[in-house]
Amino acid sequence: MAINGFMCGPRTYKYAGWVFEFHSFCGPWPLKKDGELRKRAGRKFYNDIDKFCKMNENRREKYRVGTSGGCIPF
């Protein structure tokens, strides 16, 4: 099977009372309870997840929700 490319999407995490996506080059963004993106990500959100952002990827996996996200070859 030949790989023609990669499709990448954000991973979803739950940390400090927030559910959010963390994209590899866009960074974190909070989600609503129905999974849709919030319109804004305020100072409170970024202050609450500051420690998460400083973690290495192995520690972040502990807070990952589901198996979606990352890159998939096609």
1 found inside a domain: no
Residue 30 has pLDDT above 80, yes or no: yes
Residue 2 covered by a domain: no
* pTM of the predicted model as reported, rounded to 2 decimal places: 0.82
Nearest to 8 by CA among 66, 73, 55: 73
Quote the number of domains for the chain. 1
Owner of token pair 């972040």: 60
Confidence of residue 1 (pLDDT cuts 50, 70, 90): low
Cβ atoms within 10 A of the Cβ of 30, count?
19
The answer to whether residue 56 sits within a structural domain is: yes
17's torsion region: left (phi>0), alpha (psi -120 to 50) or beta? left
| Residue 19 resides in a domain | yes
| CA nearest neighbour of 12 among 60, 55, 44, 51 | 60
pLDDT tens digits, one per residue of 39-66:
999 999 999 999 999 999 899 999 999 7
Domain that includes residue 25, residue range: 7-66
Q: Which of 23, 7, 11 is nearest to 64 (CA)?
A: 11
**Is 71 part of a structural domain of the chain?**
no
Residue 48 in domain: yes
